[in-house]
Amino acid sequence: MNQNRTIYCIGEAIYDIIIKDGKPKDASVGGALLNTAVSLGRLGMPVEYVGDTGDDPIGNLMSDFLSKNSVGIQHFVSYPGSRSRLAIAFIEDINHPKYVFYKLDAPNLPDLHYPQLPEKSNDIIVFGSFFGIKETIRKKLVEFLKDARQKGALIIYDPNFRPNHLPLLPKVQPFIEENIQLAHITKGSDDDFRMIFGTQDFDSTREILTNLGCKAFFYTANRNGIYYQLNELIGHYQSVEIEPVSAIGAGDAFNAGLAYSAFLFDINSHNFAEKVESNARLINKISDEFAVNVCLSIENYIGPDIVKTYHKQEKL
């Protein structure tokens, strides 16, 4: 493993309240890329979280939680006089939780603190979800991603598109397509691509992504496993059959598996197409095991059992 690199996770910070059988069951720090960062921090990876929150007790709780899980917070912004985001997650349908979101109540426009990457960067950037298409931060986000790509950072993108974003689709679809073009690796679920592109299967999605210039992507299809195109390799990996407790955070853990694999196998922006192809089985195995682990608990991040197996592991 190349130790001279950092993983940056860029996305929203949300306090999740879990509702099951009509009653609150749990509450936890969440947000797609924050969840990814926590899983990576628990694995001992050099990870920094880039995001924002309110200057309130929930925001303080988030900062403390990230620090306790070995996630760097020097790029985690809190806005004075603001209230943090909340999400109510209803998990009556395990595989398709429904959400109600309460926005960050900030008096001014968001001002994220992006890292200053070295001129020759070997870092890993993971971004996506609503932050990836949010108009108020779009300009600076794209500037950062273009600069990161030019400097050599490896970029991983997950659209993580929610049903409540569908009314915005005509406006944000060009943003999603640009994000795919800026990324080296794209990962999304069958539901994501069905909502974004109207595709019903992997092959029709693959055609669109290939036309957008995507050389490496993962298409997760729940119990139907993982389909992927990695350079010239097209394949399928069958997921482990489980009875999930909650699917919240599963895709985020899968993204942690991709970033962890990139770190483990020294995958960078110059060799990613060939290296993800040659390590396809292990990348899918790791990412799927992370996702399965999260599905077996109410937490949004990988647990101590799998951390013991993978923590700073150099050989599989």
Residues 6+ apart with CB under 8 A from 308: none
Alpha helices in the chain, H assignment, sequence order? 32-42, 57-68, 135-151, 169-182, 190-197, 202-211, 250-264, 272-278, 280-295, 304-310
User: 228 phi and psi, to 5 degrees?
Assistant: -155, 150
Angle between the 190-197 and 202-211 helix axes, to the nearest 10 degrees?
Answer: 60
Please list the pLDDT of the chain residue by residue as tens digits (316 residues). Answer: 556 899 999 999 999 888 888 888 888 899 999 999 999 999 999 999 999 999 999 999 999 999 999 999 999 999 988 999 998 888 776 556 777 888 887 767 678 899 999 999 999 999 999 999 999 899 999 999 999 999 999 999 999 998 888 999 999 999 999 999 999 999 999 999 999 999 999 999 999 999 999 999 999 998 899 999 998 899 999 988 888 887 778 999 999 999 999 999 999 999 988 888 899 999 999 999 999 999 998 889 999 999 988 875 544 4
The CATH number of whichever domain residue 133 belongs to comes to 3.40.1190.20
User: Is position 196 within any domain?
Assistant: yes
Half-sphere exposure (Cβ direction) of 13: Cα atoms closer than 13 Å: 31
User: Is position 198 within any domain?
Assistant: yes
User: Is position 84 within any domain?
Assistant: yes
User: Is position 162 within any domain?
Assistant: yes
Give the span between the Cα atoms of 193 and 39, in whole angstroms. 25
Provide the token pair at 253. 């853990």
User: Is position 186 within any domain?
Assistant: yes
With a threshold of 0.85, does the pTM exceed it?
yes
Number of domains in the chain: 1
User: Is position 231 within any domain?
Assistant: yes
User: Is position 177 within any domain?
Assistant: yes
Query: What is the per-residue pLDDT for 312?
Result: 53
Specify whether the backbone of 219 is left (phi greater than 0), alpha (psi in -120 to 50) or beta.
Answer: beta
User: Is position 108 within any domain?
Assistant: no
Q: For residue 190, what are the domain limits?
A: 7-103+115-310
DSSP labels, 232-294: TEEEEEPPPP---S--TTHHHHHHHHHHHHHHHTT--TTTHHHHHHHTHHHHHHHHHHHHHHH
